[in-house]
A and B are shown apart, each in its own frame.
Chain A
Amino acid sequence: MGGLGGTLPIDATEYAKQWDNLYYFLMIVCVVFFAIVIVPMVYFAIRYRDKPGAKAATHITHNLKLEFLWTIIPTVIVMVIFVWGWVVYRQLYQIPQNAMEIRVVAKSWNWTFQYDDGRTTTNEMYVPTGQPVKLTITADRNDVLHSFYVPHFRIKKDAVPGMFTYLWFNVPTEGQYVIFCTEYCGAGHSDMLAKVIAVKPEEFEKWKWGAEIPLPKPVGLVGPEWGPSASKAELETKTETAAVSPKKNPHSGLAEQGRALSGSLGCVSCHSDDGSTKIGPSYKGLFGSTVELADGRRIVVDENYIRQQIEDPQSGVIKGFEGQLMPTYKGQVTAEQMNALIAYMKSLN
Chain B
Amino acid sequence: MHHSPAGTNYLTYPKGLWSWIVTLDHKRIGIMYLATTLLWFLLGGTFATILRLEHFTPGQGFMDAGQYNRAFTYHGTIMVFMVIIPMIPAAIGNFVLPMMLGAKDVAFPRLNLLSYYIFVLGSFMALGTLFIGGVDTGWTFYTPYSTRTGMGAALMVSAAFVMGFSSILTGLNFIATIHKLRAPGMTWDKLPLFLWSLYATSIIQILATPVIALTLAMLVLEKLVGIGFFDPNLGGDPVLFQHFFWFYSHPAVYIMILPAMGIINEVIPTFSRKPIFGYKAMAAAIFGIALVSFVVWGHHMFTTGQSAFANFMFSLITMFVAVPTGVKVFNWLGTMYKGTIRLKVPMLYALQFLFVFVIGGLTGVVLATLGPDIHFHDTYYVVAHFHYVMVGGSLMAFLAGLHYWFPKFFGKTYNEKAGIFGWLLVFTGFNLTFMPQFIAGQLGHPRRYFNYLPEYTPLNVASSVGSLILAVGFFWTAFYLIYALWKGNKASGNPWQAATLEWASDSPPPIENFTHDPVVTHGPYDYTAVKGG
Contacts and interface: CB of A to CB of B under 8 A. Distances in A.
Interface stretch (B122-130, B180-188, B372-380): B372-380
B10 to A, nearest CB: 32
Contacts of B342: 49-50
Given A7-B439, A142-B233, A160-B239, A38 B338 contact: no
Given A74-B322, A86-B315, A156-B375, A41 B455 contact: no
Contacts of A209: none
B365 interface: yes
Interface stretch (A54-62, A244-252, A274-282, A341-349): A54-62
Given A220-B455, A228-B455, A331-B233, A34 B378 contact: no
A182 interface: yes
Contacts of B375: 19, 151, 154-156
Interface in B355-397: 355, 358-359, 362-363, 365-366, 369-372, 374-375, 377-379
A143 B280 CA distance: 52
Contact of A178 (B273, B277, B315, B453): B453
A70 B278 CA distance: 12
Contacts of B369: 22, 26, 81-82, 84-85
Contacts of B319: 78-79, 81-82
A61 B277 contact: yes
B446 A190 contact: yes
A61 B449 contact: no
A63 interface: yes
Nearest to B269: A57
B238 A29 contact: no
B360 to A, nearest CB: 11
A81 B281 CA distance: 25
Contacts of B446: 149, 180-182, 190
A30 B274 contact: no
Interface in B306-343: 308, 311-312, 315-316, 319-320, 322-323, 326-327, 329-331, 333-334, 336-343
Contacts of A90: 308
Contacts of B447: 182
Contacts of A166: 305
Contacts of A19: 371-372, 375
B144 A145 contact: yes
Interface in A136-189: 141-145, 147, 149, 151, 154-158, 160-163, 165-166, 178, 180-189
A8 B443 CA distance: 5
A158 to B, nearest CB: 5
B23 interface: no
Q: Residue among A7, A37, A93, A163 with the most chain B CB within 10 A?
A: A37
Interface in A1-56: 2, 4, 7-9, 18-19, 22-23, 26, 29-30, 33-34, 37-38, 40-41, 44-45, 48-50, 54-56
A221 B372 contact: no
A341 to B, nearest CB: 18
Contacts of B316: 82
Contacts of A71: 323, 326-327
Contacts, number: 281
B278 to A, nearest CB: 5
Given A157-B303, A158-B303, A89 B311 contact: yes
A181 B375 CA distance: 13
B138 A191 contact: no
A184 B138 contact: yes
Nearest to B449: A190
**Chain B interface size, under 10 / 10 to 19 / 20 to 34 / 35 or more:** 35 or more
Contacts of A23: 366, 372
A228 B458 CA distance: 12
B66 interface: yes
Interface string B253-291: 000000000000000000011111111110000000000
A49 B343 contact: yes
A123 to B, nearest CB: 15
A230 interface: yes
A95 interface: no
Nearest to A235: B453
B136 interface: yes
Contacts of A330: 233
A145 B304 CA distance: 9
Contacts of B483: none
Interface residues of A, number: 96
A67 interface: yes
B455 A223 contact: yes
A220 to B, nearest CB: 6
A4 to B, nearest CB: 7
Given A74-B322, A157-B305, A60 B338 contact: yes
B56 interface: no
Given A22-B371, A60-B337, A189-B449, A33 B362 contact: yes
Contacts of A301: none
A22 B274 contact: no
Nearest to B359: A34
B340 to A, nearest CB: 5
A314 B446 CA distance: 40
Q: Residue among A62, A85, A151, A166 with the most chain B CB within 10 A?
A: A85
Nearest to B363: A30
Contacts of A63: 277, 334
Contacts of B333: 37, 40-41, 44
Interface in B139-153: 142, 144-145, 148-149
B409 interface: no
A63 B439 CA distance: 39
Contacts of B149: 186
A226 B444 CA distance: 14
A66 B454 CA distance: 50
A75 interface: yes
Contact of B272 (A22, A48, A145): A48
A330 B66 CA distance: 32
Contacts of B233: 141-142, 162, 330-331
A241 interface: no
A258 to B, nearest CB: 22
Given A81-B369, A187-B65, A145 B145 contact: yes
A238 B308 CA distance: 35
Nearest to A88: B371
Given A71-B326, A156-B377, 13 more contacts: A9-B444, A22-B371, A26-B369, A45-B351, A55-B340, A71-B327, A78-B320, A81-B369, A82-B369, A85-B370, A178-B444, A227-B453, A231-B453
Interface of A: 2, 4, 7-9, 18-19, 22-23, 26, 29-30, 33-34, 37-38, 40-41, 44-45, 48-50, 54-63, 66-67, 70-71, 74-75, 78-79, 81-82, 84-86, 88-90, 92-93, 141-145, 147, 149, 151, 154-158, 160-163, 165-166, 178, 180-191, 220-223, 226-228, 230-231, 234, 312, 330-331
26 contacts: A26-B369, A33-B362, A41-B351, A45-B351, A48-B338, A50-B341, A50-B342, A56-B340, A57-B273, A57-B338, A62-B280, A67-B278, A74-B323, A75-B320, A81-B365, A82-B370, A85-B370, A85-B371, A160-B238, A182-B446, A183-B378, A187-B69, A220-B455, A222-B455, A230-B454, A234-B453
The 10 A-B residue pairs whose C-beta atoms are closest, nearest first, are A151-B444, A85-B369, A88-B371, A89-B370, A227-B455, A162-B232, A165-B305, A190-B449, A78-B319, A58-B338
